[in-house]
């Protein structure tokens, strides 16, 4: 039977693990922020929502609106 595998070779100090977490956060935050910025630039803003005639008829049938 083997011992459970640890994320670190030896037990690390809380300060060392905290530093690793901060480094991982910094490495992951940059690409995510850039992707979110590009996505928001690609999305177009519409003044109104388009509802197809079939969807309007279905909603009228369900809710009884004329």
pLDDT in tens, 39-59: 877 776 666 778 889 998 998
pLDDT at 17: 85
pLDDT at 34: 84
pLDDT in tens, 8-28: 667 778 888 889 899 998 888
Q: 3-state class of 27 per DSSP?
A: helix
> Cβ atoms within 10 A of the Cβ of 50, count?
6
Tokens of 35: 């992707």
pLDDT > 90: what percent of the chain? 9
pLDDT at 12: 79
Q: Give Cα separations from 22 to 18, 28, 29, 65 (angstroms).
A: 6, 10, 10, 55
């Amino acid at each position: 039977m083997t011992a459970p595998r640890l994320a670190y070779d030896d037990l690390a100090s809380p300060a060392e693990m905290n530093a690793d977490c901060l480094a991982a956060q910094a490495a992951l935050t940059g690409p995510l922020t850039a992707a979110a910025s590009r996505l928001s630039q690609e999305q177009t803003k519409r003044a109104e929502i388009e509802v197809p005639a079939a969807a309007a008829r279905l909603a009228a049938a369900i809710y009884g609106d004329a």
